[in-house]
Amino acid sequence: MKRIALLWNVVKRDLQVLLFALRHPDRPGWLMPATAVLALYAIAPFNIAIPFVGVIDDGVLVPMALHLMLRCLPVQLRNRGRAY
């Protein structure tokens, strides 16, 4: 349970930084389409057809992709988002 709580805290912090970066005028051009693709992947219909695999998939790959997207952001934008 501690690992799940730790993962949730990391994902929550990453989502806050992502939302800040999406609203910021200096965001990179790739950020909006990458966020849309990640959101579509997270709610893909095949997750409903194969529930167990879909939950594991969303619980592992989506947070990893989100964290990777934030690591690709410019440092100053990432730091401002964390302070936000």
Q: pLDDT digit string (tens) for 45-76?
A: 666 666 677 677 777 888 999 999 999 999 98
Domain assignments of the chain as residue spans, ordered by start: 2-83
| Angle value at C-alpha 79, between 78 and 83, nearest 5 degrees | 120
Question: CA torsion sign, 18 to 31 to 33 to 53?
Answer: negative
pLDDT band for position 79 (50/70/90)? confident
Q: Is pTM beyond 0.85 here?
A: no
- Residue 45: count other Cβ atoms within 10 Å of its Cβ: 7
